[in-house]
Amino acid sequence: MSGLAAGIRLAYYGQRVCILEKHAISGGLNSHYSKDGRRFDVGLHAMTNFVQKGVKAAPLSKLLRQLKIRYDELDLVEQSFSLIEFPGAKVRFANNFGLMAEDIAKEFPSEIDGFLKLVEHVKNYDDVSLNAQYVSSREVVATFIKDPVLLDMIFCPVMYYGSAVEDDMDFSQFCIMFKSLYLEGFCRPQIGVRHLLRILQKKFKENGGELKMRCGVKKLYKHNGRVSAVELEDGSMLEGTKILSSVGVCETYNLLEEGDKSPSKPGQLSFVETLLILDKLPKDFGRDETITFFCREDKFNYRCPKGKTHDPMSGVICIPNNFQFSDKPLEEGIVRFTSLADYNSWKDLSPEDYLAAKDVFVKDQIKHSGFADKLEGHIVYTDAFTPMTVKKFTSHINGAIYGAPGKVKDGTTPYENLYLCGTDQGFLGIVGALLSGISMANLHLLR
């Protein structure tokens, strides 16, 4: 996504630009596939940062302007509402902020003033500064929220949708995610992520961009403080005046001839995900929410479950049917479960053990869903991905879903014509990746 967005900006300004993509389909793991006659989105739960048409000062509006995409072209549908579910407490949030404040006032009456002050603090914080140092979000948020359960509840969605750091995150990143989830909200293109990818590819090609699929980059050659050439996996060589890499910070440094030491260590946090197709709609068994972020234990742990294939005790449940479709509702019931996973527990499994371990986490996720009884006898199709799938389709070391914990916010490297964009520049999610591509192209390649 970040590569396509950067490519569109450069193509608009008449640059000769070429995108090299290792796979046959764009989007990394936030893409789509067909299997057994059905079409699926691989990753998409929701696009964050929803705003209504016409709102000008918002990340979504900014990126549409920069990419010259009309708001209506995205064909967005909004969430119904989402849910944060912890033992003994539930808080809903929706695309109007009032619902969250209302539920917090009801469930945690002594915390509502602190929460509203936190909202003001987040709104006024300079979260896009490219030079900001790491500030612990847990420490900042604890000055506003005293109840440890509410504190964890606020962090759970924000972390699941955008933290590469275990148990805590940079406060700038927290503010970006807080605004994009709680103050703006969720939507999706009606037919799924393929719609957005098609728009991006079309814009890029129409403006003269060259998209080379199945063209993995093998090595970046250095000469006099610059990257002088790019070697592809088929052995061919390319030259370019400037290179923007969206493959991750450690991964980019590993591509450099003789390897270079990355300024950040690789990420650890990966996910397993199950997709279930049902022969009935979730609303028919009482599930109206779009996304649930849950924790089934007293303490929420957002941490790599080292030594275990997965940790089913917290996670995300997405029910795509519960977006407010206008004319093209999804025909079958769909539920997706996401849980934290440890890449190292997957990487050496034999094919048989791998399949068996997949079976275990699917069953575990159903068991901890809170509506296992309602699913019984209604599952007509199951698919699942593991950290190995994340590694395959993003090339992130350890299948780290949100890349490295240390982000390179200004996108620079020691090489004067090599820059970073996307996940490891620090803007996460679909909207974040698109904005990252745009801002790095504007800052480093167009000035």
Ligand X SMILES: Cc1cc2nc3c(=O)[nH]c(=O)nc-3n(C[C@H](O)[C@H](O)[C@H](O)COP(=O)(O)OP(=O)(O)OC[C@H]3O[C@@H](n4cnc5c(N)ncnc54)[C@H](O)[C@@H]3O)c2cc1C
Q: Which phi and psi (to 5°) does residue 87 adopt?
A: -55, 120
Residue 276's SS3 state is strand
Residue with smaller CB distance to ligand X, 150 or 247: 247
> What's the gap between Cα 180 and its chain centre?
12
β-pairing verdict for 82-86 and 333-341 = unpaired
Cα 423 to Cα 157, 169, 296, 355, distances in angstroms = 18, 14, 29, 29
Mask 17-56, x = binds ligand X (CB under 6 A)?
---xxxx----xxx------------xxxxxx--------
Q: Does 406 bind ligand X (CB under 6 A)?
A: no
| Residues ≥6 apart with Cβ < 8 Å to 209 | 7, 8, 10, 11, 17, 18, 19
Residue with smaller CB distance to ligand X, 107 or 274: 274
State how far the Cα of 113 lies from the Cα of 105, in Å rounded to an integer: 9
Q: What is the DSSP letter of 179?
A: I
State how far the Cα of 442 lies from the Cα of 432, in Å rounded to an integer: 15
Q: Does 268 bind ligand X (CB under 6 A)?
A: no
Residue with smaller CB distance to ligand X, 28 or 312: 28
Site for ligand X in 157-216 (CB under 6 A): 216
Which one of 10, 247, 272, 295 is in contact with ligand X (CB under 6 A)?
A: 247
Q: Does 413 bind ligand X (CB under 6 A)?
A: no
Residue with smaller CB distance to ligand X, 150 or 400: 400
Q: Does 95 bind ligand X (CB under 6 A)?
A: no
Residue with smaller CB distance to ligand X, 47 or 100: 47
State how far the Cα of 22 lies from the Cα of 254, in Å rounded to an integer: 16
The site for ligand X, by CB under 6 A, has a size of 30
Q: What is the DSSP letter of 267?
A: P
Smallest gap from residue 440 Cβ to ligand X (A): 11
Residue with smaller CB distance to ligand X, 312 or 399: 399
Q: Does 217 bind ligand X (CB under 6 A)?
A: yes
Amino acid present at 48: T
List interacting residues with ligand X (CB under 6 A): 1-3, 20-23, 28-30, 43-48, 216-217, 246-247, 390, 394-395, 401, 422-423, 428-430, 433
